C-alpha cells in the first residue's frame, strides 16, 4: 500500500511540466518499440510547436573514427562543410581528436508532427541495426523509433548498401522563448558525467531557460548519456564552448596513443594537459 503511494508520488514527481516547450526523452529513446499513435512522443523527436516551421539550429556531435573530419561529419549529418569548418574554427583537412564535441549547424524543419534535420545514411556493414545506427553512429542524435517509422525496411532486413532516411533531433524556439531572447536551440548530446547545470553554464544559458526548454521539474535533473537536451542560445555557439570528453576508456587510449605517436593502447585515463606534458617530457629527454 505504502509502496503504491510512493510510486504514485514518484510518477507525479517525474511527470513533465505542462508549460514545457519540449519534454526530455529520458532513456525512452533506447527502446525501439515506442508508439506515438496518441500524440507526439519525446522518444521520437522534438514536437513541431515553435514560432517558425523551420529555423537554423545546432547539434553537438562527438567525433569518432571514421567520423572525425570535416568531410566525413558533414556527409554523415548533411551539414555544410564550410560552415562546419568555420564554426568549429578548424581547417577543412584536419582530423578531430576522438570524443571532441563538434558544433553542427543544420536546417531544422517540421515534418508532420516533429521537427527534424534530415540526412541519409547508406548502411556500410552487416552488423547495423536501427538501434546501433541511432545510438552508436548518430550517438543519440537519431532515435531507433523514428528511424523505424521513417524507413520501410523491416527491423531485421537491413543490409549493406541500403539507404536510410535519418531524421535528427532538433527544434525551433517557441514564441515564449523568442520573447526571452532565444535565437537558436542547440541539441546537446549528453555524455557520461554531464550535469545540466554545468552544460548550461558552458553555453551561457540560464538554468531557468534550460529547465523550461526541456520540461525538467528540478534545476539539476539526472540526464542520461546518448540522449539530447535542448540549450536555448541567444548567440551562435562557439568552438571555445566545446570540450573533449575523456570518459570512455578506449577513446582515452586512442587519444593518448595518437598524442604519443605510438601504437600502444594503454587503458589508463589521462587528461590532455598531462598527455602534453608527457610528450614534452619524452621530447626533452630525447634531446638530452
Ligand X SMILES: *[C@@H]1O[C@H](CO)[C@@H](O)[C@H](O)[C@H]1NC(C)=O
Which residue minimizes CB distance to ligand X?
55
Size of the site for ligand X (CB under 6 A): 41
Q: Is residue 208 involved in binding ligand X (CB under 6 A)?
A: yes
Q: Which of 204, 277, 280, 282 binds ligand X (CB under 6 A)?
A: 204
Q: Is residue 257 involved in binding ligand X (CB under 6 A)?
A: no
Q: With contact defined as beta carbons under 8 Å apart, do 160 and 124 qualify?
A: yes
Nearest-angstrom CA–CA distance, 95 and 70: 8
User: In what order do the strands lie in the sheet containing 101-111?
Assistant: 163-168, 114-122, 101-111, 54-62, 184-189, 228-233
Q: Is residue 47 involved in binding ligand X (CB under 6 A)?
A: yes
Residue 217 burial (CB count, 10 A): 14
Q: Is residue 112 involved in binding ligand X (CB under 6 A)?
A: no
Q: Is residue 209 involved in binding ligand X (CB under 6 A)?
A: yes
Residues forming beta bridges with residue 166, ordered by sequence position = 119
Nearest-angstrom CA–CA distance, 247 and 240: 20
CB of 285 to ligand X, least distance (A): 28
Residues forming beta bridges with residue 228, ordered by sequence position = 189
Nearest-angstrom CA–CA distance, 267 and 253: 5
Q: Is residue 153 involved in binding ligand X (CB under 6 A)?
A: yes
Q: Which of 136, 243, 244, 272 binds ligand X (CB under 6 A)?
A: 136
Residue 220, SS3 per DSSP: coil
Q: Is residue 195 involved in binding ligand X (CB under 6 A)?
A: yes
Nearer to ligand X, 1 or 37 (CB): 37
Nearer to ligand X, 8 or 282 (CB): 8
Nearest-angstrom CA–CA distance, 106 and 103: 10
Binding site for ligand X (CB under 6 A): 16, 18-20, 22-23, 30, 40, 47, 49, 51-52, 55, 89, 135-136, 152-153, 172-174, 176-178, 180, 193, 195, 197-198, 204, 206, 208-209, 212, 215, 226, 234-235, 238-240
Amino acid at each position: 500500500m505504502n509502496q503504491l503511494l510512493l510510486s504514485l508520488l514518484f510518477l507525479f514527481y517525474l511527470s513533465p511540466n505542462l508549460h514545457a516547450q519540449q519534454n526530455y526523452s529520458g532513456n525512452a529513446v533506447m527502446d525501439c518499440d515506442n508508439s506515438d499513435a496518441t500524440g507526439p512522443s519525446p522518444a521520437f523527436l522534438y514536437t513541431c510547436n515553435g514560432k517558425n516551421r523551420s529555423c537554423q539550429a545546432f547539434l553537438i556531435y562527438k567525433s569518432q573514427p571514421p567520423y572525425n573530419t570535416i568531410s566525413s561529419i558533414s556527409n554523415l549529418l548533411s551539414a555544410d562543410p564550410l560552415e562546419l569548418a568555420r564554426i568549429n574554427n578548424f581547417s577543412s583537412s584536419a582530423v578531430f581528436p576522438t570524443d571532441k564535441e563538434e558544433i553542427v549547424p543544420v536546417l531544422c524543419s517540421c515534418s508532420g508532427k516533429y521537427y527534424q534535420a534530415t540526412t541519409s545514411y547508406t548502411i556500410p556493414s552487416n552488423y547495423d541495426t536501427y538501434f546501433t545506427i541511432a545510438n552508436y553512429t548518430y550517438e543519440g542524435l537519431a532515435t531507433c523509433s523514428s528511424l523505424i517509422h521513417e524507413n520501410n525496411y523491416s527491423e531485421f532486413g537491413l543490409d549493406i548498401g541500403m539507404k536510410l532516411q535519418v531524421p535528427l533531433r532538433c527544434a525551433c524556439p517557441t514564441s515564449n522563448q523568442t520573447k526571452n531572447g532565444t535565437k537558436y536551440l542547440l541539441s546537446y548530446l549528453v555524455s557520461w558525467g554531464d550535469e545540466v547545470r554545468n552544460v548550461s553554464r558552458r553555453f551561457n544559458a540560464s538554468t531557468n531557460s534550460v529547465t523550461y526548454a526541456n520540461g525538467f521539474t528540478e534545476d539539476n535533473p539526472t540526464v542520461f548519456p546518448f540522449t539530447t537536451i535542448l540549450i536555448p542560445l541567444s548567440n551562435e555557439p562557439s568552438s571555445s564552448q566545446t570540450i573533449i570528453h575523456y570518459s570512455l576508456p578506449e577513446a582515452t587510449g586512442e587519444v593518448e596513443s595518437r598524442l604519443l605517436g605510438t601504437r600502444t593502447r594503454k587503458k589508463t585515463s589521462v587528461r590532455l594537459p598531462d598527455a602534453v606534458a608527457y610528450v614534452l617530457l619524452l621530447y626533452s629527454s630525447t634531446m638530452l
